[in-house]
């Protein structure tokens, strides 16, 4: 009888977050930036080319990712986070993203 409360087929704990959740939250952060026109934001937007942001704006957005997902993003990685897909890919694959 003591075994009835145990879960035999439980799934292993998943590190990180799903791609869908990463996308939703990345889009929320980018949309919240004061210089972003939400009407121009898509799932494939490039921060500079499509949204007209400058490098300082992108740094601010990356800092938003760090805060939102409780991550440290090294400069060499941050330099590559120039679009929604790049940010989503990074966050979804990061094992410590929350």
Instruction: State pLDDT tens for residues 13-22.
Output: 456 799 999 9
Check residue 74 and give its pLDDT.
94
Catalytic residue among 24, 54, 75, 79: 54
Beta carbons within 8 Å of 11's beta carbon, 6+ residues apart: none
> Which parts of the chain have pLDDT scores under 70?
1-15
Check residue 4 and give its pLDDT.
47
Check residue 12 and give its pLDDT.
35
Beta carbons of 52 and 67 less than 8 angstroms apart:
no
Is this structure's pTM higher than 0.85?
no
CATH number attached to the domain at 19-93:
1.10.1200.10
How far is 58 from 26, CA to CA, in rounded Å? 13
**Domains in the chain: boundaries:** 19-93
Query: Has 54 been annotated as catalytic?
Result: yes
């Amino acid at each position: 009888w003591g075994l009835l409360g145990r879960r035999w087929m439980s799934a292993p704990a998943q590190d990180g977050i799903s791609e869908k959740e990463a996308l939703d939250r990345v889009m929320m952060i980018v949309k919240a930036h004061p210089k972003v026109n939400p009407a121009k934001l898509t799932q494939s937007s490039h921060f500079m080319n499509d949204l007209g942001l400058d490098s300082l704006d992108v740094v601010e957005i990356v800092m938003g990712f760090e805060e939102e997902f409780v991550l440290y993003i090294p400069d060499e990685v941050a330099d590559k986070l120039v679009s929604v897909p790049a940010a989503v890919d990074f966050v979804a694959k990061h094992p410590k993203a929350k």
